[in-house]
Chains A and B, each alone.
Chain A
C-alpha cells in the first residue's frame, strides 16, 4: 500500500494534492466534488481587503448618486436590509464549506493594511479555518520604494498576523525578488509556517485595435512548474517552514517533481479549470502508478530527494545550468517534436 500522506501546516493530509484558491472554490458543490476526486485540502479564494473597500465605496456611491436631487425620484433603489458586504459573505461561505467537507479548509487573505490583515485573519480563524494563507499580492509601482522596504513590509505583516491568530499561517509570494532565499529566511523567522511558491500575477495585455490595456487571465501550464521546482529545491532544508508549490501542477508527474524538490503539497487550479474537477483523481492515479512502477512506498520518502542539497550536481541549480542549456540548445527543425517549445531566454 503506497502512502500518499504528507504533513503541511501541522495538518496530516491524505495526499499532497491541494486545490488552491480559484474560482472553483467559490462553490460548495465544487469543493465537495474536489474532496471526492482526491483533494486532500482546499484553499478558499482570497478575501481581498481592497476589494471589500472598493465594493463598499462603489455600492455607497451608486446608491447615493443622483438621490435627493429631484422631487419625483428622491432615490433610485430600494433600501435593502443588509448587503453582506465586508468579510461577512466570505465568512459565511467559509462556514458552509467547513460544514460540507471533511478535508481541511485553508483560508486565504489578501490585505493592504496591517489593521485589515489582523482583523480579517482573526475572523477567518473564528470561522473555523484549519490554517490561513496570506496571499501577498503586491505590485510595488512606486520607484521610491526600495526592495528592503518591500521585504520589511512582508515580514512585518507575517509577524503581526502570526501574533494575532493561533492557526498555522502560510505565506504566498511572487518570485520577483532579488534575494529570494534571504527573504524566505526572514519570513521563516517571522513565524511563517509555510511558504507557497509562487503567486501568479495577472498581467495586463494590450488590445492593439482599441489601444487599450486589458486584463488577461491565462491559465498556467506545466512549464511554469520549473521556476517553482527550482526555488523549492533551493530553499528545502534551509528553512523551518514547509514549502508548497502552486502554479504549473497539471499531471501526476508534476506533483511528484514538486515532492522531490522538497514541497509538502502541490496545489492545483488551472488544470482543474481546463480539465474539470475529476482531473484530480487522474493526477492522483498518475502519481500512484508512477510510484508503484518505481517501487516508492511513500511520498515522504521522496520529499526533498532532488533538492539542492540532495542532488549530485547542485551546480545545476545555479548559473552553470544556464550555461549548459545555452550551449546545448539547437534550433528545432520543422516538424520535429521540439517545435514550438519556447527557448528559455524568451
Chain B
C-alpha cells in the first residue's frame, strides 16, 4: 500500500550542512538574522528568544549574509517595533521582527501599511493565544488569524526543521513577490521544542536570495537623491482603484513561493508544497490543517493508512494568498469528507477562517465544475488545540471516526469535553501511534534542580553523538517558585513527528521524592518501563516509603525500579541542590542509548562545552557529580504486591469551598484537561482567595520564632513576600485549647493591656526565602547568630506548625480602628489580603502589594498590567488576592500590558460616577431617608473609623431603601456601596510604566484624577526573562543589553514631578520601611494622582535574594536609589514639595552594584566597558543627587522657602 509522505526525507547534499539540536525559535532566528540588516524587537512570550538570539549575535559581531552585522534595536512596544520596521523598510533596509499574540495585534496597523505599499519583509511569529476571557501564553493561531486581513502572505511551519526551511522560503519569496510575509509556527510546541535538524548552510541562503531583488528593493527606497512621496491621503475618486492595483502581486505569489520551495528542495532534498498531501492516494477522509498539529495528523494517517484505512492529511503551508487552484490539485480526487481544523476560535462566525476558505474553495469548484472530484466532499469544521491544548493521535483517530459516520457533526471541537453545547467529539484516549523503536522518557523535576537544562543537554548529546533522531519538549507549571517541570524526551532511529506529550513512556524519572505524594508520576509509564527515583532511601528500604498508588502501578505494570540518593551525591560533589548532572548520568547508564563509557565521555565533554566558560571549578564539580553518580545507582527488588499504607495527598483540604473542590483542585492535581466546559466560568470571573488552598509545602527550612528574644517590631511580617509570617495580638483567654507547641509572648503594646502576641509561620506556604530572618534586628546577647527568628529544618516542625497555623487563623484579627497604621509595628497586625502567591522565593515586589492590601485592601480595586505581578497575582489555578472575614478584599483585573494606566483610570471614572450618582439619589430621595441622607453625604472617610462609620450608615440606608418604593430607591439600593470611598491602584512593572505603557501613564497622571500608581521597578522585564527596559541602570547587563546598558536609567519620578500636580514617591522598603509606609499613606490621602516607584529586588539581578533588603539599603546609601516624596499639597503651604528622605550618597556605587551578577558579569566579560560604565554611573549618581538637593530647596514657585516673602 503506497503512502505519500509529505516531505520526502531524502537528504540532499549534506556535506556542508551540520546537524544541530535547536528549538524552533533559534531555527527561524538563524535565517532571519542572516537575511536582515535592521531588526526591531520587543519581548513577548513565546517569541522572545528569537529577539534575544538576534541581539546576542549582533553583540558577538556575527555578520549577515552580506558580511555586515545587522542593527538590532529594542523598541518600547511591538507597535514601536512595527513602526520602526516600517520606516526602515521604506528607506531600503532588509528588516525583520519577531513577535506573538498581543504583540502581533499591536503591529497590525503598520502591517496594513507595509502590505499596502508592497514592501518585502518577514515577521516571524511564534503563534500564541490572545487574551480573551483570560490571558494565555500558550500556542494557537488566534494571533496570526487576527492578522490575516492585513495583506501579508502567511506561511505556516509545522516543525523545527520547517521553521528554519520556510523562514528561508519566506525571505526569498518576499523579495520577489513584494508581499510582506508572516512566517509562523506554533508557540511552545514548535518554538520551544528542541530537535535535531539539518542546519541550512550560508551557501543555501546565498543560492536562495537573489541580490538583484535586494537591490530592486533598495532602489525603491526613500531617498532625497531620487525623492518620492508615499503614504498620501486619497479621496473617494481613486482609493478603491488603488486598492485593486495590488491584485496581480497576490495572484503571482503562490507560484513564487512554490518555486522557492522547489529551489530549496533541490538544495536540501526537503521538498515542500503550498499544500502538502500525505496519506492514502485514494483517501476518502482527509483532514486539512496547518501548524504543528499537522505532524501528529500525518503520524496518525501513516499509521492508519498502512492498516488499509483510506485517510489522508493536507497540510496548509501558504495560507495567504490562499491558492484555490493549488489546494484542489493537492487533494486526492477520491475524497468524500474533509475535516478542516482550525487552531483558533472566531466566536459568532459560521466557521473558523481555514474552514471558510476551504468551504468556499470546494463549493465554488464544484459549482463551476472545476473540481478534481466527482461529488463535492462534505466539509466539516473543527477546533482543536487552543492555548496549547494537547492534540494527539487518539484525537485525530476520533476525528477520522466521526468523518466516517453517515451523519457527522458539521462543527465540532476535539480534545475537550463540551457538556454545554455538546459539539466535542469523543475519542478513545488509549489509541497510540508511538513507534516501538523510539525511546520515550519522561522526567519530573523541580525548576531549581536543573532537570530541564540537563535534559536539553541529553537531547543534544543523543542528537549529535549518535545517529538517532531526538526531540525534547518541556512543560512548566505556573508558579515561579518551587515549580514542577516535566521533560518529554524521544529518540530513535526514525524521524519523529510526534508533536504531543508522551503518554506511554519507556522510562520515567522522578527527581524529587515528594512529587510521589502529589502527582501521579507513573501514569505515563508503559508496562515494562524503567522507573528512576531520586531518594534518600536505599534500595532495601525505599519500597515501604512509596505511596500505595505508586506501588500498585509498579507491580501492575511490571516496572524496573532504580534509586539513587542524588541529593547526597550532588551535595558531596559541591553541586548543592542541583541534581541535574547526577540524574542525567543515571539516565544514560540505565537507558543504554550509548555504551556507558562513551556516554560518560559525552556527558563530560558536554559539561565542558556548557560550563567551561564559567570556570574550571564549575566543570570540575560537575565532573565529580558524574563520577560519583554511577557508584550510587542501585536497582530495587520489587515485591509482588503493594503493601504501603501511605496515600496520595489531597490536592486541597476538605474544608475548601465547593468551586475549589470541584474545579481548582483538579487543576492543581494536573487533571484540568478533564474538566468539562460547564465547570469553567464563561466570562473569566473567578473567586479570589484560592491560593490558601494550594498547600505546596516547598520550603526545606522555615523561620522558627524565639518569643523570648522578639521585640515585636513587625519587620519580618512587613518584608515577607509570601505573607506566610504573621502576627496577632489577642486576649490571653483565647489561648485555651491552643496546640501544646503554640507560642505566645506578652504583647508589647501598652494599649492592649495584658494581651498576648504570637508570630506564626504558615509552614505549607513558606518558600524558605529567609528574607525575614535577614531583616530581624533582635539578636541573642549570648550568641549573636541566634535571632528572634531563625531558619530551621522544616520536616521536623511541619506537623506541629501546621496545627499552630490553623489555630492561629482562628484567632481574631485586630480592630483596625485602634491600630496606628502609620507605624510598622502596628501594620504587622493588619490582615494581609494578598497571600501565598507563586512569585519567586524572596520576591522584592510582593511585600509592597501585601502592604497595599493591608492598608487599603478592603476598599481597593486594582488594575494590574501584564507582567510578573499579573502572573503571580492572577495565574490559575490559584490566586493570592483574598478577602477578610466580612468578605471584602481587593477586586483585581488585568487588561493588557500596554493599557493599564488607562484601564485603571476607567475604573476610577466609573467609581466616581457611581458615587456621584448615588449622592444625587440620596439628595433626590431627601426626606424619605430622614437624617440618614445628610449623614451619608457629610461623612468624613479619611480614617478607618470614618470608613467604618460610613459602612454602617450604608447598611442602614439599604435597610431603609427596602421599605421604599420607586425606581430611585431601587437604583440607590444597587449603588449604595458606592457611597463608601474606594481606592484605585494601578499596578505594574517597569516594562509597563517606563516603556510600553508610558504614553498612557503620562496621560493618566496628567488627568488629575485620583488614582494611585504603583510601579514595581525591577529595572528589567522580569517576567519575560530579563530584557532591558528604560528602567535598567547604566552598566547593568540584561538581555538586549548584553554589552551592558550604555544609557542611564530613565527618571520617571522626575518626569512626573514636572506636572506639579502629581504626588510622587520613590521608595525602597529595605532602605526605609517607615518612609515606604508614609508614602503609601500619603499617596492614598492625596486628592489627585499619585505615583510610587518601588525598588524591587529581583531574581534577574543575580544574587541571593535573602539579602534583598540589605541590597535595597545599599542602593539607597549609594545614591542609586534616593528616597524622596514629592507632595504637591506642601506646595500649597509654601513649602518645598520635594522632601529628600535619604542622605547624600555615602557608599561607592561599586559597593552596591558589584554584589549583583547583572553588573559583575560585565566586569568579567568586558572589564574595560564595565569600568567605564561604572564610572559614568557613579557620575550619574552624583549629578542626580545634586539636582535633587537643589529641587528640595525650592518651593513650587521655584524659590527657596525663605525667599517666599521676597
Contacts and interface: CB of A to CB of B under 8 A. Distances in A.
B613 A78 contact: no
Contacts of B478: 70
A72 B1024 contact: yes
Contacts, number: 154
Given A78-B1038, A84-B1167, A85-B615, A71 B45 contact: yes
Contacts of A78: 52, 55-56, 59, 1037-1042
A83 B60 CA distance: 13
Interface string B597-624: 0000000000000010111111001000
A130 to B, nearest CB: 24
A54 B566 CA distance: 23
A64 to B, nearest CB: 7
B1165 A72 contact: no
Q: What are the 7 A-B residue pairs with the smallest beta carbon separation, nearest first?
A: A69-B447, A56-B615, A73-B1025, A68-B452, A78-B1042, A62-B1102, A62-B1157
A212 B452 CA distance: 40
Interface in A47-102: 52-53, 55-86, 89
Interface stretch (B289-297, B349-357, B367-375, B479-487): B479-487
A227 B1025 CA distance: 56
Contacts of A66: 447-448, 480, 840, 1099
B45 to A, nearest CB: 4
A56 B574 CA distance: 12
Interface in B1083-1109: 1099-1100, 1102-1103
A323 interface: no
Interface in A279-307: none
Interface of A: 52-53, 55-86, 89, 211-212
A62 B614 CA distance: 11
Interface in B443-476: 446-448, 450-453, 456, 474, 476
B742 to A, nearest CB: 29
A77 B1026 contact: yes
Contact of A77 (B49, B451, B779, B1100): B1100
Given A60-B615, A62-B1102, A80-B1165, A72 B1160 contact: no
Contacts of B55: 78
Contacts of B447: 66-70
A70 B614 contact: no
B1026 A81 contact: no
B274 to A, nearest CB: 33
Contacts of B784: 211-212
Interface string B559-603: 000000000000000101010000000000000000000000000
21 contacts: A53-B615, A59-B614, A62-B1103, A68-B456, A68-B474, A68-B476, A69-B452, A69-B476, A71-B137, A72-B45, A72-B48, A72-B1024, A74-B1025, A75-B1025, A77-B1039, A77-B1158, A78-B1041, A80-B1042, A80-B1165, A82-B613, A85-B614
B526 to A, nearest CB: 26
A56 B1025 contact: no
Contacts of B1167: 84, 89
Contacts of A84: 1164-1165, 1167
Nearest to B1040: A78
B46 interface: yes
A68 B451 CA distance: 8
Contact of B1037 (A53, A70, A77, A85): A77
Given A73-B1023, A76-B1099, A77-B1026, A64 B450 contact: yes
A81 B615 contact: no
Contact of A79 (B56, B188, B1102, B1103): B56
A73 B1026 contact: yes
B480 A69 contact: yes
B1161 interface: yes
Q: Interface on chain B toward A: helix, strand, loop, or mixed SS? A: mixed
A71 B963 CA distance: 56
A279 B450 CA distance: 54
B1024 A85 contact: no
A73 B60 contact: no
Nearest to B622: A60
A77 B1023 contact: no
Contacts of B164: none
Nearest to B59: A78
Nearest to A58: B1157
Given A71-B46, A72-B1023, A73-B1026, A86 B615 contact: yes
Contacts of A52: 615, 617
Interface in B1002-1043: 1022-1026, 1037-1042
Contact of A85 (B192, B1038, B1164): B1164
B442 interface: no
Contacts of B46: 71-72
Contact of B616 (A58, A82, A86, A211): A86
B871 interface: yes
Nearest to B578: A64
A59 B1099 contact: no
Contacts of B1037: 77-78, 80
A82 B613 CA distance: 6
Contacts of B1160: 59
Contacts of B1157: 58-59, 62-63, 77
B893 to A, nearest CB: 20
A86 B615 CA distance: 6
Given A70-B483, A73-B1026, A77-B1039, A59 B1100 contact: no
Nearest to B45: A72
A115 B1103 CA distance: 30
Contacts of B56: 78-79
Given A68-B453, A77-B1158, A79-B56, A53 B617 contact: yes
B676 to A, nearest CB: 26
Most A CB within 10 A of own CB, among B476, B614, B1103: B614
B1026 A60 contact: no
A69 B1102 CA distance: 15
Interface in B838-895: 840, 871
A56 B618 contact: yes
B52 A60 contact: no
Contact of B615 (A65, A70, A73, A83): A83
Given A77-B1157, A81-B60, A72 B615 contact: no
Given A55-B1164, A71-B192, A74-B1025, 11 more contacts: A52-B615, A59-B1157, A60-B611, A63-B614, A72-B48, A73-B1022, A75-B1025, A77-B1039, A77-B1102, A78-B59, A78-B1038
Contacts of B574: 57
A35 to B, nearest CB: 22
Interface in B420-452: 446-448, 450-452
A70 B617 contact: no
B483 A69 contact: yes
A89 B1041 CA distance: 22
B606 to A, nearest CB: 15
